[in-house]
Structure formats: structure tokens, C-alpha cells
Amino acid sequence: MTEPLVQVRGLVKHYPLTRGIVFKKQVGTVRAVDGVDFDLASGETLGLVGESGCGKSTVAKLVLRLEEATEGQVFFEGEDIHDMPHGRLRELRRQIQIVLQDPYSSLNPRMTVGDIVAEPFAVHRSVAPRESWRRRVQDLLERVGLDPDHVNRYPHQFSGGQRQRIGIARALALDPQVLVCDEAVSALDVSVQAQVINLLRQLQSDLGLAYLFIAHDLSVVRHISDRVAVMYLGKIVEVGERSDVFREPGHPYTQALLSAVPSPDPRKAGENDRIVLEGDVPSPADPPSGCHFRTRCWKATERCAAEEPALEVRAAGHPDACHFSEIRHVVR
């Protein structure tokens, strides 16, 4: 097997909690990302799922080095993104791009669509001569399914789905190898969401893109991903091939998460053996000892409080982080 395109190793991001304005005093630490490892191969889609506050969006920012990591490395083609001079990083930005969640705030309202999509060329002047920008922008708009004659319009003149396409066109301008999609379809209406999902799949097969697809919507992740990683409180608790994780989840959190998704099929509504979790996600400023999930877990024992489970292959046949891992079928 060839080396993965992106390798994330021991990634940690802690935010200090401070008090005071002039004399800041650190009173705690928010462990947003607390030791995350994963690989992303060329042309594949890795879905990263988890609930709000689990740290998945921070992972997105760390992979692009939009935030500095507290610890750990992100290798792109063997080079550590978090340990390279800014000049080199700027070059590397051409290879990894991001599509953000909110189609309303991710486009500068004072710029025309043409200027927005051409901005990558203006930033990386060596990519394309100025005369070619307009043609390239129009090609990009056409590629994402927009009318190329709309370059002089402003973002607010487009619907949410169309704006998201503009954001995708901007991300594609520099011909990247990796696209980080941070909740890229979550803000869209279902009928439009499907259009954008299909577009992303189309682009992947045309351009050979690798996606790090971050989302809270499990059905969307299931639909688009090759492999899936489940995050809880700053850690990956289970990772594997899509069908393995969805059909034969080993970690109790994954099982609860999957079983909680309401099925859009009323006939199945009753027969669902839904695992309803008690309580709330603990604060990442004060995570439980040992296994982070133990406070809501029905299997928890003393061992879970004392010993942190490693992410390794257990009963489920793919890596999970539960001492008492066992397969339970929750999706029918």
C-alpha cells in the first residue's frame, strides 16, 4: 500500500481558560482535541462524525493549520504541516482546501462572485496569469453547476445551495488534492443538500479529490464516506470502513449514536431498539478519567475509570476504544 496522503498523529489542541483582563491567569484547560490519529488516502472520503463540542471542527482547523496544534503532527505527503516555515505552508495551502458550513457567512458580502472565486489566483500569482482568471473562474462556476455569466453578481443574490457551490468553486480553484468539508451540507435544505452531495461525489470522481468530511448528520456521512471515524470528547472512539462501522459498531457510543438517528420510514419507527443515552456530554474542560464516555455508558465498570482504552482492533474487527467492545446491530 502506498503512503497515505495525509497522516494525523497524536494531534492535541488545548485552549487555556483564563480569567482577568490585564493580568491573565490560567484557571483551566479545554481539551478540544485530545490525541487524534487518522490517515487519509488519496481519492478517498473519511467521514468524521460526532456531536457538537466533540472537537471535530477543531480537527479541521488543525489539519489546515488554521490553528496551531498543542501537540502532534499532520503530515501531508510526509511533510509535517505544523513544523514548516510559513513560506512553505503558503505553498502547501494549494493542496488542502476547506469548504465551510455556513453558505451565508463564508462568502465576503462585499465581493462579487468573480472576485471571490478568483481570489486564490490573486493570492497565488504563479498559478495563473491574470488574463486567464476570468476564463478559469467561469470554468469553475460551470464545473460546480452555476451559470458562468454570473461572475458580476454578489453572494446575496444566490440561494443557500448556490452559495455553497460558490464556496466549493473557490476551494477548487488551486486544484487541491484534499478538500476538508466542515459541515459543508448541514445548513442546506434537504432537497438542495442532495444536489450538493451529488456534486461533491461527482467532483471526487472527476478530480480524484480526497475528502475529510466532517458532519454531525450520520446518514449524510454514511452516504458519502468510504471510511468513518467517530469522535467523542476530543478522541476518536471508533474508526473503520463505512459498512463495518455502520453495520457492526463495537463501541457503545457509536451504537447509541447510530440508534438515535430517526428513520425516515414510519414502518420501522416502532421496532427501533433505540439506545437513549442518559445525561449530557461532559465539559471538555473537565473530562472524566479513563474512558471519556464512561459517565454515560451502560457498560462502564471501575476499569473504565482507571484505564483509558486504546483505539485498537477488538471484537468488532476494526479499531475501537472500548474495553468491552462487542458488536451490536442497531441499523436495520
Partner 1 sequence: MSDKTRSRPDTRDVEPRGAARDQTGATGAAADPSGGEAAGELSGRSASLWADAWRELRHDKIFLVAAAVVTVFVVMAAFPVVFTRTNPRSCDLSRSLGRPSSENWFGYDLLGCDYYAQVVHGARVSIVIGILVTVIAVAIALVLGSLSGYYGGITDSIIARFTDVVFGLPFILGAIVILTVFENRGLFQVTLVLAVLGWTTMTRLMRSSVISVRDSDYVLAARALGTSDFRILTRHILPNAIAPVVVYATIYVGIVIAAEATLSFLGVGLQLPAISWGLMISDAQYRIAEAPHLLLFPGMFLSLTVLSFILMGDALRDALDPKLR
Partner 2 sequence: MPATEMLPSSTPTTKRRPDHEGPLLEVEDLAVEFRTRDGVVHAVDGVSYHVDAGETLAILGESGSGKSVGAQAVMGLIDSPPGHITRGSIRYRGKDLLGLDEGARQRVRGRDIAMVFQDALSSLNPVFTVGDQIAEMYRVHEGASRADARRRAIDMMDRVHIPAATSRFDDYPHQFSGGMRQRIMIAMALSLGPDVLIADEPTTALDVTVQAQIMDLLAELQRESTMALVLITHDLGVVADVADRIAVMYAGRIVEHGPVIELYERPAHPYTQGLIDSIPRMDDDREELVPIAGAPPNLMKVPSGCSFHPRCPIARDECATDEPPLYAVWSGRESACHFWEEVVSSHD
Contact set for partner 2, span 67-126 (CB under 8 A): none
Task: Mark residues 221-260: x for contact with partner 2 by CB under 8 A, - for none.
Answer: -xxx------------------x--x---------xxx-x
What is the CB neighbour count within 10 angstroms for residue 21? 6
List 45, 101, 177, 193, residue binding partner 2 (CB under 8 A) = 193
- Report, in Å, the least distance between residue 18 CB and partner 2: 18
Contact set for partner 1, span 163-202 (CB under 8 A): 167, 170-171, 174, 189, 195, 198-199, 202
List 45, 101, 164, 254, residue binding partner 1 (CB under 8 A) = 101
Q: What is the dihedral of CA 244, 248, 251, 256, to 10 degrees?
A: 110
Query: In a 3-state reduction of DSSP, which class is residue 52?
Result: coil
Which cell goes with 268? 420501522
Query: In a 3-state reduction of DSSP, which class is residue 184?
Result: coil
| Nearest CB to partner 1, comparing residues 82 and 150 | 150
Residue 292 bridge partners (DSSP): none
Which cell goes with 215? 458532519
| Dist CA 330 CA 283 (whole Å) | 27
Q: Per CB under 8 A, does 204 bind partner 1?
A: no
Which cell goes with 1? 500500500
List 97, 106, 162, 325, residue binding partner 2 (CB under 8 A) = 162
Residue 7 bridge partners (DSSP): 39, 75
User: DSSP letter string over 24-64?
Assistant: -EEEEEEEEEEEEEEEE-TT-EEEEE--TTSSHHHHHHHHT
Amino acid at 325: S
From the list 68-76, 153-161, 240-248, 317-325, the region that binds partner 1 by CB under 8 A is 153-161
Q: Per CB under 8 A, does 281 bind partner 2?
A: yes
- Report, in Å, the least distance between residue 272 CB and partner 1: 29
List 105, 243, 283, 301, residue binding partner 1 (CB under 8 A) = 105
Q: Which residue has the cell 457567512?
A: 105
- Report, in Å, the least distance between residue 81 CB and partner 2: 30
Q: Per CB under 8 A, does 153 bind partner 1?
A: yes
Q: Which residue has the cell 448541514?
A: 186
| Dist CA 61 CA 69 (whole Å) | 9
| Nearest CB to partner 1, comparing residues 14 and 65 | 65
- Report, in Å, the least distance between residue 325 CB and partner 2: 19
For 132-170, give the secondary structure using H, E and C. HHHHHHHHHHHHCCCCHHHHHCCHHHCCHHHHHHHHHHH
Which cell goes with 310? 486504546
The DSSP symbol for 83 reads G
Task: Tell me which residues touch partner 1 (CB under 8 A).
Answer: 22, 64, 66, 89-91, 93-94, 97-98, 100-102, 105-111, 119-120, 122-124, 145-147, 150, 153-154, 156-162, 167, 170-171, 174, 189, 195, 198-199, 202
Task: Tell me which residues touch partner 2 (CB under 8 A).
Answer: 51-52, 159-162, 189-195, 197-198, 201, 216, 218-220, 222-224, 243, 246, 256-258, 260-269, 272, 274, 276-277, 279-281, 331-332
